[in-house]
Amino acid sequence: MLNKPESKKLFSLLTFLSTLTRWKTCFLATSFFLLSLQSCNNTTESNNTPQTERKNLECVAPAKPGGGFDLTCRLAANSLQKSNLIEQPMQVNYLPGGIGAVAYNNIVGTRPEDSNVIVAASTGSALNLAQGKFGEYDETAVRWLAALGADYGVVVVKADSPWQNLDDLMQALKENPDRVVFGASGSIGSQDWMKAALLAKAAGIDPKQMRFVAYEGGGEALISVLGGQTGVCPCDLSEMKGQIESGNYRILAVLADERVTGEFSEYPTAKEQGYDVTWAVWRGYYVPPNIPETEYQWWVDTMTKLVETPEFNQELTERGLFPYTKIGSEYENLVKEQVKEFRTLAQEVGLSK
């Protein structure tokens, strides 16, 4: 038995140990709370990484250098960096083949979750999808991101061509279609082929009678005109930026509803010259199908900010493009609607039943 003083000492010791245990438990709980709070803060910071810290961004041009897809990638890459929306340069890589089919299948099949890549697209992409030229994949296989500019079809010949205006060319087509060789980006049924087909129809010629040479990009097509392998390029107005100054080419007509403004304002439309032929071209981008919604939204937000910057508008002007903004769901709806329209157009020119 413990005497009274010893019992008192034991009681005091037990009380101290109990208090110490409670303090330890409280300390551990507080520490755990603080660590959890720090973890939440770290997660929040990770999910809100400044846009400029994004790395390894890439734009794929589905053709060789020098054509419209190259121009479209450069538009995004240059203006994103100049406007400080990204810090590190966006790489531009080329994946030619099948007039966009190789790139489309590559992105869907091998990079479906890559949030760092965008791919250049155009009205021609929608046209090829309408004709099933991208294989097993249709217009629903990717996420359509944004159209950031518009272009127009243009009829171009060599500077010393005997055709001085559009009517000269159309009369030559009527007299003998074999005399006129079109050279442009894409195979039969492509966007540029469609421009030539519409010109032939306007001249009263069955598009199936046209002579057409296909190239991988507009740059190659323009070189073929210069070299005499072909006589006419139904290419895009933006591709003529810097070409007219060389003195090597002549623009016969712009395929717009009315004259464009700026440096190309002196060139008449086909409509002005009595031929109701128009072809508008949007320049845009798509992303892989399975990227997280947060990543898709980051791209949408970034492109929305981009088009408001002076750096972007300067790039747009320098590349001969005209303002045309469709972002996110608005752009996706546009593409799907155009694919439907192009399926009908393909039937009219005899490409499908």
The number of folded domains in the chain is 2
Instruction: Report which DSSP code applies to 112.
Output: T
* Final residue belonging to a domain, choices 279, 301, 330: 279
SS (H, E, C) 83-99: CCCCCCCCEEEECCCHH
In a domain, 143, yes or no: yes
- Residue range of the domain that includes 85: 52-151+281-348
Q: Does the pLDDT value for residue 170 go beyond 90? A: yes
Domain match, 118 and 144 both = yes
- pLDDT(297) > 80: yes
Distance separating alpha carbons of residues 201 and 224, to the nearest angstrom: 24
Q: What is the pLDDT of residues 13-48, one digit of tens each?
A: 445 445 444 544 444 444 444 334 443 343 333 334
- Looking up residue 188, the CATH number of its domain turns out to be 3.40.190.10
Residue 98 lies in a domain: yes
139 or 353, higher pLDDT: 139
CATH assignment at residue 101? 3.40.190.150
Range from 13-27, 42-56, 115-129, 229-243 that averages highest in pLDDT:
115-129
Average pLDDT of the segment spanning 149-163:
94
Do 75 and 139 belong together in one domain? Answer: yes
Q: Is the pTM of this model over 0.85?
A: no
| Domain membership flag for residue 15 | no
In terms of domains, do 324 and 270 share one?
no
What six digits make up the tokens of 45? 């910071």
Give 309's contacts (C-beta < 8 A, 6+ positions apart). Answer: 79, 83, 85
State residue 42's pLDDT score: 39
Residue 50 has pLDDT above 70, yes or no: no
Q: Are residues 187 and 69 in the same domain?
A: no
